[in-house]
Every structure is written in structure tokens, then in C-alpha cells.
Amino acid sequence: MSCKIITVFNQKGGVGKTTLSVNLSYEAELRGLTTLLINIDPQGSAISWIANAPDENPFPAAIIDLSALGTKVRLEIEKHFNNYDLIIIDCPPNKEQKTAQAALMVSDIVVIPVDPTPMSLVASDQALQLIDEVKVYNDDLKTLIMASKMERTNLAKGVLSALHQTQGATTMKSCTTNLVAYAEAFFYGTGVSAVPGATKASDEIKSVTDEIFSHLENLSPGKIY
Ligand SMILES: Nc1ncnc2c1ncn2[C@@H]1O[C@H](COP(=O)(O)OP(=O)(O)OP(=O)(O)O)[C@@H](O)[C@H]1O
Ligand SMILES: [Mg+2]
């Protein structure tokens, strides 16, 4: 199986899951990877994002909505393995995470975006517990924590250094900072690296993509081999 699966997960709302999922999908396509973005969030934010793209410049990755399937998502995801180099899954914010856990059963990497507030440390512990339940069945699952909407405050730096102490997960070196360009990308229906003038956000999302992909072995466009 050459298809790799990255799931973006945190049961806390508004931390940047959809923003990361959509931008990773966009950057993957730029790198020649045939990519499928799967929405399993009933809010459908990823679908709304892609719907904003103009007809003459459609979003490059394919997208499907499996949010109504519940735990049956796993079987449905498997049907796409042969057609894509990469699948990215955008999870909902819920205490109840059976659908996301079903997706994590077939994932290679789970990325947890964490915004730099003290409440988020509690949330990331809860996220890791939910992931641990899945690791019993999928012990190859790699867990990455990504600081999202980072700021230059001492509070944010303190939260980040606490995240670096996390057991059982790797806290990423790269992060996203708090920039309005991410919201603008939603309105353009594109990746932030295509937003005019968004150089800083573009640079950071490319570093984030490099770092996440560096954890995937044999990730190369299907057309090369
Ligand atoms: N790095 C960032 N800098 C500034 N704003 C950001 C950043 N990342 C995301 N946002 C904004 O934060 C809000 C929430 O982001 P997003 O929808 O990606 O979070 P989410 O975790 O998917 O939310 P939900 O839990 O509701 O699905 C959006 O308005 C988005 O534009
Ligand atoms: Mg979302």
C-alpha cells in the first residue's frame, strides 16, 4: 500500500484543524502528490472552504464528505487507497470521537494542532488518551503535536515548552503563528501560500508540511514509480 494517511485531530474546537487539513492538502498537490481530503466533521468547514474556490481556479485536491458515516468511515476510506498518494482527514471537535477513532485506525500520522492557552494543555492530554485507545490496534500510528496560532507572549512560550515535555508524542519544531492570512485563504478557497502577500504564512505552512512529511517513509508521487 503506497497511500499514506494523515489525520488532523483534536476534540477541542477552533484550534486550527480544518486550516491545517486544507493547507496540507494544497501543499501536497503542489508537490505532485495526488491528494484526497476527507471531511468527517458534520460542520463541513473544509467543504465550505473548497466551495469558495473560483470555477476557473478550483482547489487542486479532491474532497469527499464522509461525516454522516460514523464508524463506517474506516471501510469507506480504504476504498480510496489505490487512487491517491495521500489522504488527509479533517476531524470534528467533540467529546465523542468514535468516528475520528475509526479514521485513526487506518492512519499513519495523527497531527494535533494546539493553540497556546493553558486550557489547551488539558485538551491535548485528552486527545492523547483518545489516541492511545487507538494505538492498541494501530501501534504504528505516529503522533505529532503542532503549535497553532503561536504568539510571542510568555504564556504561549510556556505552553509550548510544556508541550515539548509530552510523553508518547513528538512536538513539532515548526508551527503556525497567529496571522489573518489563514482566514483570508478560506475566503479565496485556496491554500495560504496562494494568498497575495502572505509570505510569512506561506513560509510557515511549507515548513509545517516539510516536517510532517518527513515522518512518512516512501512518500513520493505515484507517477514516479
Ligand atoms: N495560524 C492561525 N492564525 C490565525 N488564525 C487562525 C490560524 N489557524 C486557524 N485560524 C483561524 O481560527 C479559526 C478556527 O480555525 P479552524 O476552523 O481551522 O479550527 P478547527 O479546529 O477546525 O475548528 P472546529 O473545531 O470548529 O472544526 C478560523 O477562523 C481560522 O481562520
Ligand atoms: Mg474544523
- Model pLDDT for residues 161-220, shown as the tens digit of each residue: 999 999 999 999 999 999 999 999 999 999 999 999 999 999 999 999 999 999 998 777
- φ/ψ of 35, rounded to 5, equals -125, 140
- Model pLDDT for residues 109-158, shown as the tens digit of each residue: 999 999 999 999 999 999 999 999 999 999 999 999 999 999 999 999 99
- Model pLDDT for residues 25-76, shown as the tens digit of each residue: 999 999 999 999 999 999 999 999 999 999 999 999 999 999 999 999 999 9
CA 186: distance to chain centroid?
15
Distance from the alpha carbon of residue 93 to the mean position of ligand 2, in angstroms? 7
Q: Is the CB of residue 11 below 6 angstroms from any atom belonging to ligand 1?
A: no
Cell readout for 24 is: 496540507
* pLDDT for the residue numbered 224: 37
Q: Is the CB of residue 174 below 6 angstroms from any atom belonging to ligand 1?
A: no
* Amino acid identity, position 143: T
Q: Alpha helices of the chain — where are they, by DSSP H?
A: 17-30, 45-51, 73-78, 98-104, 118-135, 154-163, 181-188, 199-213
* Angle formed at CA 73 by CA 67 and CA 75, multiple of 5 degrees: 155
Q: Is the CB of residue 213 below 6 angstroms from any atom belonging to ligand 1?
A: no
Mutate to test the pocket of ligand 1, among 9, 19, 25, 150 (most ligand atoms within 8 A of CB): 19
Mutate to test the pocket of ligand 1, among 11, 12, 18 (most ligand atoms within 8 A of CB): 18
Distance from the alpha carbon of residue 95 to the mean position of ligand 1, in angstroms? 18
* pLDDT for the residue numbered 34: 98
Give, for 133, the enclosing helix (H) or strand (E).
helix 118-135
- What is the C-alpha separation between 154 and 176, in angstroms, rounded? 17
Q: Candidates 3.40.50.1820, 3.40.50.300, 3.30.200.20, 1.10.630.10; correct CATH number of 4-212?
A: 3.40.50.300
Q: Is the CB of residue 19 below 6 angstroms from any atom belonging to ligand 1?
A: yes
Would the pTM count as exceeding 0.95? yes
Q: Is the CB of residue 183 below 6 angstroms from any atom belonging to ligand 1?
A: yes
